[in-house]
Amino acid sequence: MGHLTYARGDTIAVDLGLKDRRALVTAASKGLGRACAEALIGEGAQVYISSRDAKAIESTGIAIAAAGWTPADVSRDADIDALLEAAIGKLGGLDVLVVNAGGPPPGTFETTPLEGWDRAYQLTLMSAVRLVRGALPHLNRSDQGRIVFITSISVRQPIPNLVLSNSLRAAVTGMAKTLSAELAPDRITVNCLAPDAIRTDALRRLGDLDQMERRSPMKRLGEPAEVGAACAFLCSRHAGYITGQTLGIDGGSLVGVH
């Protein structure tokens, strides 16, 4: 029996059926990736993690008791190949893939150079394509295959000065929706988490956190652990009939009916 821990400290006992499930979480040295990895580990899963920063991923791996870790730049083919080989070798298979990557740099359409689009395409979209392609043969052998993509509220409500993220995370969402139908006969679920205003280093770089709190309908920022809890649920046995969805974790900040 595991438990979910919420931002205010409450815990609820619930068995998510994740004990000994084998998971790979990318971009997990901090922020949302780390929160997802921690939530899965808290439910008894064996979790392998990666990040571009070799020192940071080792430190995080030790701190959260990960099953293993590999430094990897997911915008590079060779790094993804090496990561998948290491993770599958250590875990002996794969039940869960959580696809995360650092966000592309800010900028408007006019201020973003053409080469910036190429880099963001490799980092945001092609990393997801390559990770899923490499993981699928192993997920197909699982009786509880789960794929979760970490995207952003920008897939539904574009954010000013983030043209690359707005464009390419939306592409990931379209791919995820298509995959969900293609993989449904194999009982592999595919879903997205679309957070907004979560208290991370990435958010701090984008602006004034106090101002963001005041703009939030809930008058607070979200916590990474809240994203992790949602990720753990989507990976659980209880979410076996939930696929092709984008779950907003935004405190009600999305304007519109979706």
pLDDT of residue 204: 81
∠ at Cα 146 (142, 152), nearest 5°? 165
Nearest alpha-carbon partner for 33 in 254, 247, 218, 195:
195
Long-range contacts from 169-178, C-beta under 8 angstroms, 24+ separation: 169/124, 171/124, 171/125, 172/99, 172/124, 172/125, 172/128, 173/149, 173/246, 175/125, 175/128, 175/129, 176/147, 176/149, 176/244, 176/246, 177/244
Whether residue 92 lies inside any domain: the answer is: yes
Neighbours of 89 (CB within 10 A): 10
- Total domains present in the chain: 1
Three-class DSSP labels, 125-164: HHHHHHHHHHHHHHHCCCCCCEEEEECCHHHCCCCCCEHH
Whether residue 253 lies inside any domain: the answer is: no
CATH number at residue 142: 3.40.50.720
pLDDT of residue 7: 55
pLDDT < 50 positions in the chain: none
Whether residue 2 lies inside any domain: the answer is: no
Nearest alpha-carbon partner for 70 in 135, 26, 21:
26
Record the tokens describing residue 2, joined without a space: 């595991």
pLDDT of residue 10: 66
pTM for this entry = 0.93
Whether residue 258 lies inside any domain: the answer is: no
Neighbours of 221 (CB within 10 A): 19
Record the tokens describing residue 255, joined without a space: 């304007």
pLDDT of residue 167: 97
Whether residue 154 lies inside any domain: the answer is: yes
Whether residue 250 lies inside any domain: the answer is: no
Whether residue 128 lies inside any domain: the answer is: yes
Whether residue 256 lies inside any domain: the answer is: no
Range(s) of the domain holding residue 237: 16-244
